[in-house]
Chains A and B, each alone.
Chain A
Amino acid sequence: MNENIINIEHISKVYTVGDVKVHALYDVSLRIDSTEYVAIMGPSGSGKSTLMNMLGCLDTPSGGKYDFKTRNVSLMTDNELAEIRNREIGFVFQTFNLLSRSNALHNVELPLIYAGVPSAERKERANQALISVGLGDRVHHKPNELSGGQRQRVAIARALVTNPAIILADEPTGNLDSKTGEEIMLLFHEINQKGNTIILVTHEEYIAQHAARVIRVRDGLVERDEAIVNRYIPGISKPESAVK
């Protein structure tokens, strides 16, 4: 029996732009347990990123309740939230969000710095993470010296480096060719096999088929939430459209 990690009930997020109220999230309830592999799909502007920010303890909901590992997130202090982001969550942003002045190694090191990991170990682990995303030869490159796909992989390495309980990835393969994308999906698969929870946002059915469960969002509401029967396991089974 897997323990519950994420439990959101009737979450909403309202933005007020001028006089107009935008419901980025209308009323979303979800339960995600540890070791799950979840894909979130939906049209552009449907609220996927907003939901991910919420799950990643970066943003606070306008209404509803969020329990992370049975602790009520809205009751946590800023420092407790920072600690959860640092230790429990690896976030891959849709826009990468890398430090533009720092090289790849330092970008990947960053979460370890705030976790208080000693320098030598930090460098070693950051290096390993970069190697695992295929950037072993680009550790000293700055983001503007890397391609879009390479930046995305640095962002992924940064999310992996702390070995977090959950990886939240907002379109992690959006900028990658199918081969590199496949390598990343293999990486996620391995991490998931080790027992880490993975939640990823994607527009591609093919990527979504790597997950065990797909949640479809539309207009700030969960449209469908279902298990994938014919999962595509990287390197083992062939991709076949098989979503029930």
Chain B
Amino acid sequence: MRINYEVFSVAFGSIRQNRLRAGLTILGVVVGIFSIIVIMTIITMLQNSIESGFSDLNKNTFQIQKWEAMRMGPHHHGDRNRKDITIEDFDRLQGMLTQALYIGAEQWSFGRVVKYGNKETNPNVQIAGMTIGALRNNNVKVEVGRDFIQTDIDFARNVCLIGMDVVDKIFTGVDPLGQQVIIDGLPITVVGVLERTPQLFGQSKDNYIVFPISSWQIIYGKTGRSVNITVMSHSKEDYNQVIDAAMGYMRTIRKVAPGEDNDFYIFSNESLISQVNDITSGIKIGALVVSIIALLAAGVGIMNIMLVSVTERTKEIGIRKAVGAKRADILIQFLFEAILLCIIGGVIGIALGVGLGNLVGKLINAQTAIPYNWIAIGISTCVFVGVLFGTYPAYKAANLDPIEALRHET
């Protein structure tokens, strides 16, 4: 067998000679490869963004909530009446989970108005109730004024920490410290102004106010609202141990019988990634199915065009055999042409997929990504399709009788 320049030049020459025909034939390959690559590019970009979104601090934190925040489809269990996580649950967990660096509880109320004097914000301020631990876990830092102290929480003092967006809105030219703002009719004293946080996806995260969680519960009520628990481990190394311990204690606290499912949900970094994967895997499978169907259709098209090509070039095959081409030489020549067609289609599909994927990704502010492993899979698939559908025509060409092929009129 001789894979040489002749094989390449004949294949390229033949494709060049039949540009339109070749172009139409590889369209299916382009579509097949494009659809999987574009989806994989976007998903890779999303995953990269999520993973790099975990700051070093966030890497060691996890949350305990009543429900999985992202739910696909209806509940599988009939446990719609799941008990809320209460502040008492939190207190007990705090007592037990001594392995943790910080443990905190928080609750949120959205779309509130904050007034100062005759000024007021739009009804879009987020009001958080937090324990000291929650402040640490959320990396809430006071820029001026003071932080919360435990007695603020123990005695449900009407004090608050105020985000910079709220300051910008209602405290123009006034030092907010010590001023009273009115929230839901209640006067609250500003004791600290929070550091401005870097914007994420072009959105400010500073349009919020923090209360002691006890005060928050007095204003917004204690029942019917579940507390969100956040935990930070000392290090990456004991992160999973702390998760396991927290899960065990929570089961005890909430009296979950052995063998029963948790009646709460732990969001860890892995669980977030795996949730994203759950959502994306459906899309991936869809793209894969489209790809496979397109590639199979394309493969049949390529086989057809190669059979036409063998017939058209019967005389050429006869000439080559007459001057000494062996079966393998002819086989490789036609097989290579089929593979080359597929690879050209694949490369176009990959270029379009990566290009368009990154364009879409840019629109949602995700980081640029090239799904190298899927590109490798795409190219291998092209070669495979070329071999699968090119073998029969190539075999037919290789087995032509030289004298009959020479007599063929074209």
Contacts and interface: CB of A to CB of B under 8 A. Distances in A.
B322 A114 contact: no
Q: What class of interface size applies to chain A in its complex with B?
A: 20 to 34
A22 B339 CA distance: 43
Contact of A99 (B2, B319, B324): B319
A82 B398 CA distance: 12
Contact of A114 (B315, B329, B403, B406): B329
Interface-central residue, B327, B329, B403, by most chain A CB under 10 Å:
B403
B66 interface: no
Given A58-B403, A58-B406, A114-B329, A86 B319 contact: no
A79 B327 contact: yes
A82 B318 contact: no
A58 B5 contact: no
Interface in B301-354: 315-316, 318-327, 329
Contacts of A78: 326-327
B13 A101 contact: yes
Interface residues of B, number: 22
A169 to B, nearest CB: 14
Contacts of A115: 324
Contacts of A56: 322
Contacts of B319: 97-99, 110
B151 interface: no
Interface string B392-410: 0000000000110010000
B325 A82 contact: yes
Nearest to A80: B326
B320 A114 contact: yes
Nearest to A108: B323
Contacts of B323: 85-86, 91, 110-111, 114, 158
B320 to A, nearest CB: 7
Contacts of B172: none
B326 A114 contact: yes
A83 interface: yes
A61 B145 CA distance: 108
Contacts of A85: 321-324
Given A82-B321, A85-B324, A99 B316 contact: yes
A119 interface: yes
Given A58-B406, A97-B406, A101-B17, A91 B326 contact: no
A30 interface: no
A70 B406 CA distance: 27
Contacts of B6: 113
Interface-central residue, A82, A85, A93, A115, by most chain B CB under 10 Å:
A82
B402 A58 contact: yes
B17 to A, nearest CB: 7
B223 interface: no
Nearest to A110: B323
A116 interface: yes
Given A114-B2, A114-B329, A59 B403 contact: yes
B118 interface: no
B322 A91 contact: yes
Nearest to A95: B406
Contacts of A83: 324, 326
Given A58-B403, A58-B406, A97-B318, A114 B13 contact: no
Interface in B269-320: 315-316, 318-320
A53 interface: yes
Nearest to A91: B322
Interface-central residue, A53, A110, A113, by most chain B CB under 10 Å:
A113
A87 interface: yes
B4 interface: yes
Interface in A58-104: 58-59, 78-79, 82-83, 85-87, 91, 93, 97-99, 101
Contacts of A158: 323
10 contacts: A56-B322, A58-B406, A78-B327, A79-B326, A83-B324, A93-B406, A97-B406, A111-B323, A113-B6, A119-B5
Closest 5 CB pairs of A and B: A86-B324, A114-B324, A111-B323, A82-B326, A59-B403
Given A59-B403, A82-B321, A82-B325, 10 more contacts: A53-B403, A56-B322, A58-B403, A85-B321, A93-B406, A99-B316, A110-B320, A111-B324, A113-B4, A113-B6
